Amino acid sequence: MTDHAYSTDYDAIVIGGGPAGLQATLTLARVHRRVLMLDSGRYRNDPASHMHNVVAHDGTPPADFRKLAREQVAAYPTATTWEDTVVAVRPEGEGYAVELDDPDGTVLTARGLVLATGVRDVLPAVPGLAELWGDRVVHCPFCHGHEFAGQPVAVLGTVPAGHLPAILAPVVSHTTVLTDGAAPVPTAASTTRTERVTGLHPSGTGVRVTFVTGPDLEVAGVYVSTTLEQTTPFAEQLGLRTLPSGCVEVDVMGRTSLPRAHAAGDMAHVAALPMPMSSVISAAASGAMAAGSLVAALL
Ligand SMILES: Cc1cc2nc3c(=O)[nH]c(=O)nc-3n(C[C@H](O)[C@H](O)[C@H](O)COP(=O)(O)OP(=O)(O)OC[C@H]3O[C@@H](n4cnc5c(N)ncnc54)[C@H](O)[C@@H]3O)c2cc1C
């Protein structure tokens, strides 16, 4: 645990130091709210070497983006950031108490909260897939697509097969849908293979896919769909309303079902949107919105 200089009340505690939490902290700091950002140091895009589709940061390593954001936040005298893991959050008085995972069981209080703890990707259980996750096994054509330009790719699973081949068609040379034993689905792909996949292996092309029967397949990258899980139990601890996506329900201002407990980034979902909008720029935008509306709620 970090050696804390003091532990008193804050105007706001931001839990999470990804793009959502960093932007929320900056927004609060700009109007000199006493804000503490707590960051356990595990980010969803850890496995990716570069991030894309982030205006002015296309191709920037995620760690460089966070470092720059941290440096800019540090210039504001009322903003503090600690490398700490939060284990519990509860309402206390007119605000919230946040308990840290340290030997002293440090508890910090704030009038308002911004939850920005992100989500965790649960990967398909295919041997070798996890080792390639992030750059050669990917999930999002906007984050990774152009990098495979003119090369063949595969889409693993029937869920992403419905839309990904058509999105990728102008970018890649060829898409093969791998149903992994399931029945084929209608798709824009020019090839479908239904054999069970036995493994993914690094290769000179990118990925070699092996099957129970039939020849191996060489592709530059493999698209998968992941199952998303909340990284923390804070929604249950606070009794926050959630959506079938598993995310905390927020309105367009980032407000949850509890007053002054706002949420942003991948963990939050505006019900009017068909899915949580997971990207660096959306996370940062929702962090600004949640923090701005928290400033208003604290007046
Ligand atoms: C492999 C991969 C590649 C991607 N590439 C791109 C890309 O190129 N472009 C793009 O726009 N998007 C990309 N994304 C999506 C992008 O990473 C997310 O949408 C974005 O990081 C969400 O930001 P966030 O702040 O909500 O969460 P995160 O960035 O995941 O941050 C969560 C924060 O919460 C903290 N936290 C969690 N639990 C606790 C706790 N108990 N106590 C304290 N802190 C805690 C974590 O330490 C972290 O600081 C990618 C995703 C993946 C999986």
Q: Specify the pLDDT at position 275.
A: 87
At how many degrees (to 10) do helices 280-298 and 19-30 cross? 40
Fold of 10-120+227-298: FAD/NAD(P)-binding domain (3.50.50)
Distance of CA 213 to the CA centre of its chain: 36
**What residues are in contact with ligand 1 under a 6 Å CB criterion?**
15-21, 38-45, 47-48, 51-54, 85-86, 116-118, 121, 134, 143, 231-232, 265-266, 278-281, 283
Nearest CA to ligand 1 atom 26: 265
Q: Mean pLDDT lowest for which of 89-93, 108-112, 211-215, 272-276? A: 272-276
For residues 56-84, give the mean pLDDT: 97
Q: Specify the pLDDT at position 7.
A: 41
Side chain identity at residue 240, one-letter code: L
Is the CB of residue 253 less than 8 Å from the CB of residue 246? no
| Ligand 1 binding pocket mutation candidate from 123, 142, 280 (most atoms within 8 A of CB) | 280
Please name every residue paired with 156 in a beta bridge, in sequence order, or none if there are none.
178
- Of the pLDDT bands very low, low, confident and very high (cuts 50, 70, 90), residue 162 is confident
Mean pLDDT across the chain, nearest whole number?
Answer: 94
Give the distance (Å) from ligand 1 centre to CA of residue 45.
Answer: 5
Angle subtended at Cα 170 by Cα 165 and Cα 172, rounded to the nearest 5 degrees: 70
For residues 69-84, give the mean pLDDT: 97
For residues 47-69, give the mean pLDDT: 97
The segment(s) of the chain belonging to CATH 3.50.50.60 are: 10-120+227-298, 124-223
For residues 251-276, give the mean pLDDT: 96
Rounded to whole angstroms, what are the CA distances from 57 to 35, 66, 69, 71, 206?
A: 26, 11, 12, 16, 25
Q: Specify the pLDDT at position 188.
A: 79
Region 124-223: CATH code? 3.50.50.60
pTM, two decimal places: 0.95
